Amino acid sequence: MTFSIRVSGDAEKAVATHLPVLIQELVASGITNLDASLWGPEAEEEASKRLGWVQAVSVSRPLVAEIVALRAELNAKGVDRFVLGGMGGSSLAPEVITQTAGVELTILDSTSPGQVLAALDGGLERTALIVSSKSGSTVETDSQRRAFEAAFRDLGIDPAERIIVVTDPGSPLDESARAAGYRVFNADPSVGGRYSALTAFGLVPSGLAGADIAELLDEAEASLLEVAIDAPENPALALAAAIAGTRTPDGSARRDKLGLITDGTHIVGLPDWIEQLIAESTGKQGTGILPVVLLPVSPELDAQPADLQIVRLVDDAEEVERRHHGEILVSGSLGAQFVVWEYATAIAGRMLGINPFDQPDVESAKVAARGLLDARPEPTAPAFVEAGVEVRVSDPALAASGTVQGVLDALWAALPEDGYVSIQAYVNRLEIPQLQGLREMVAADSGRPTTFGWGPRFLHSTGQYHKGGPAQGVFLQITERTELDVEIPERPFTFGQLIEAQAAGDAAVLADHGRPVVTLTLTDPQAEVLALFEAAQ
């Protein structure tokens, strides 16, 4: 078996309850046969245009030879460094594939000036840029492309020799790239971004970087029969039943938070990909499943919140089954993981009564950011400043204490009983990667499941859930003020202004949805991170 799942405790009860129904309703074979009616009449039109991922393995096979040949061609010209400019589904799958394969791919999924500059300064004479955008109009990716085009020209390098584009046919990027003479790979337009791991979006960057994408497709193909059958042995049916149907210990509510732990698996970084797939697919109409990426020693494992179900990604689910009672244990090849989780997420959407293929609340933050870039209002004055940290709040009552620690305590006090904390860091993560450790402290201090996302990357991942999912979240934004900035050629704003507008725009949208938001701006990030950690203890 290419994928193994073991369940116990309440998750086992959920599988026993829901699996027979899913089998009787022929859900697995329905998906395999591209039945768009599975998610109800309101979702049918969208679903009919979004099921191409089911056939991605066969559709993508011809790409392999093209990608391998292009890699050899570039290597022969001395090009052996690859930078991927992409957001959400365009970057998360290649990140997992290349990290697991142990090959180098520089992921640029940020508008932080420092990260953009680091990607530009990594040796352009041996660099190729992969511009990856399904819509062809993603502002982050467009800005990154413009910066690289100018940098290549400054060195006397023709951008057409170094820029590869992955986009949907007929997109604005497709047309402009072909006109500029760039190498273009068109992806299947019937596959949504978060389901695109086994399409050109996942394969082109990974294959150019040196990952064995033929083997990845072989792994995925080996799982296709398993997920297509309406039988108890189907791992996707069992996984969907467990993640969307498990109840709290007293049976009063569904467990709507999913803790994802990597523990002994050879696959690197899979929870970040799963996080986007599930959060963006299910977080809408006031419901959803919130993925929470955890460490094996995270506070949530000791606290065991009643509404949190643990999924542990292991090397062999059968071998460790008796060690982790009540958890969902999964193991398998990376290709199989992609297939099974995509099927399971689509099935979970049906169980929750929502359309797993749209993202109705993602655009609001983009619109707000564009409005701020156009209007350029003066920055909102902070409620107060403590030791260089500027504090802004969506509700003045949150700042009543006049201290950072007091503000955080007030934010945790605003948590509902079934709430969660979302930390959103719009900073240069290459300079202060330790900031991610704040998640562990906040989870312990708040006593509730806590997510962490680098901005603006998370806007293309969990951003949909924050606005469209249950109104349970409180939000801690961390931004930075830095003198470093990078121009965006032929645009009236810089990367620094863009990331600032993205943070402020999302904060405004969250506040409009009634979500409590605290924004802490670090004016000296390296020095103030320690103070932030102390305040969160």
* Amino acid of residue 13: K
What is the reported pLDDT for 332? 98
Sheet holding 163-167, edge to edge: 106-108, 81-86, 127-132, 163-167, 183-186
- Which residues lie below 8 Å from residue 172, measured CB to CB, with a gap of 6+? 136, 137
Per-residue pLDDT tens digits for 186-228: 999 999 999 999 999 999 999 999 999 999 999 999 999 999 9
Q: What is the pLDDT of residues 400-412, one digit of tens each?
A: 999 999 999 999 9
Helix (H) / strand (E) element for 476: namely strand 473-480
**CA 311, 316, 320, 321: dihedral to nearest 10 degrees?**
70
Distance from C-alpha of 247 to C-alpha of 346, rounded to nearest angstrom: 20
What is the C-alpha separation between 185 and 63, in angstroms, rounded? 9
Neighbours of 395 (CB within 10 A): 15
The dihedrals phi and psi of 336, each to the nearest 5 degrees, come to: -65, -40
pLDDT at residue 379 in the model: 86
Query: Quick one: pLDDT band at residue 247, thresholds 50, 70, 90?
Result: very high
Tokens of residue 163, six digits: 């820029």
Q: Per-residue pLDDT averaged across 264-279, rounded?
A: 98
Q: How far apart are CA 59 and CA 47, in angstroms?
A: 19
Q: How far, in Å, are 67, 239, 252 from residue 247 at the CA level?
A: 45, 14, 7
Give the model's pLDDT for residue 321.
85
pLDDT digits (tens, 9 = 90+) for 20-64: 999 999 999 999 999 999 999 999 999 999 999 999 999 999 999
125, two tokens: 């004479």
- How far apart are alpha carbons 199 and 191 in whole angstroms? 8
At 429-453, the pLDDT tens digits run 999 999 999 999 999 999 999 999 9
Q: Is the pLDDT of residue 1 over 60?
A: no
Query: Terminal CA-to-CA distance of the chain, rounded, Å?
Result: 45
What is the pLDDT confidence band of residue 373, given thresholds at 50, 70 and 90? very high
Of the candidates 282, 292, 420, the residue with the CA atom closest to the CA atom of residue 359: 282
How far CA 492 is from CA of 17, 152, 234, 244, 495, in Å, comes to 57, 21, 53, 45, 10
The residues, any chain, with a CB within 8 Å of residue 319's CB and separated by 6 or more, are none
Residue pair 43/156 in contact (Cβ under 8 Å)? The answer is: no
Rounded to whole angstroms, the maximal C-alpha distance in the chain is 67
SS3 3: strand
CA atoms of 395 and 522, how far apart (whole Å): 20
What is the pLDDT of the chain when averaged over all its residues?
97
pLDDT for the residue numbered 521: 97
Sequence letter at residue 186 = N
417 Cα distance to chain centroid: 26
Q: What is the DSSP string of 347-415?
A: HHHHHHTS-TT--TTHHHHHHHHHHHHHH-PPPPPPSEEETTEEEEESSGGGGTT-SHHHHHHHHHHT-
303 φ, ψ (degrees, to nearest 5): -70, -35
The model scores a pTM over 0.95: yes
How many beta carbons lie within 10 A of that of residue 206, not counting itself? 28
Question: CB of 451 within 8 A of CB of 439?
Answer: yes
Pairing of strands 163-167, 127-132: parallel
- The pLDDT tens digits for 85-131 are 999 999 999 999 999 999 999 999 999 999 999 999 999 999 999 99
Please state, in angstroms and as integers, the Cα–Cα distance from residue 500 to each residue in 270, 280, 486, following that order: 29, 23, 13
DSSP string, 7-32: E-HHHHHHHHHHHHHHHHTTHHHHHH
Give backbone dihedrals phi and psi of 202, rounded to 5 degrees, phi first. Answer: -85, -35
